[in-house]
Amino acid sequence: AAVLIEAHSGRVLYEKNAHEPLPPASVTKVFTLVVALEALRDGRVALDDLVTVSRRAAGMGGTQVYLQVGEQMTLRDLLYGIAVESANDAAVAVAEHLAGSEEAFAQLMNERARAIGARNTNLSNASGLPPADIGMPGRTHVTSAYDIAVVSRYGYTLPMFEELVSTYGPYRVRVGTRAEREFWNRNRLLRFYEGANGIKTGYTQEAGYCLAASAVRGNLHLIAVVLGAPTREDRDEDIRTLLNWGFSQYQAQEVVRADEELARIRVSKGVADAVPIVPERPLHVAVPRGGWVEVQKELRLPDRVLAPIERGQAVGELIIRLDGQELDRVPLVVGGDVPRGR
Active site residues: 26, 29, 86
Q: How many CA atoms lie within 13 A of 34 on its CB side?
A: 27
Q: Cβ-count burial of 42 within 10 angstroms (0-12 exposed, 13-18 middle, 19+ buried)? A: exposed
Q: What b/e string do you get for 274-304 counting C-beta neighbours within 10 Å, with b at 16 or more?
A: ebbbbbeebbbbbbeeeeeeebeeeeebeeb
- CA pair distance 244, 234, nearest whole angstrom: 15
Pairing assessment for the beta strands 304-306 and 263-268 based on DSSP bridges:
parallel
- What is the dihedral angle through the alpha carbons of 90, 142, 155, 209, rounded to the nearest 10 degrees? 70
Transcribe 52-115 into DSSP letters: EPPHHHHT--SS-----TT-EEEHHHHHHIIIII--HHHHHHHHHHHHSSHHHHHHHHHHHHHH
CB-based contact 98:35 (threshold 8 Å): yes
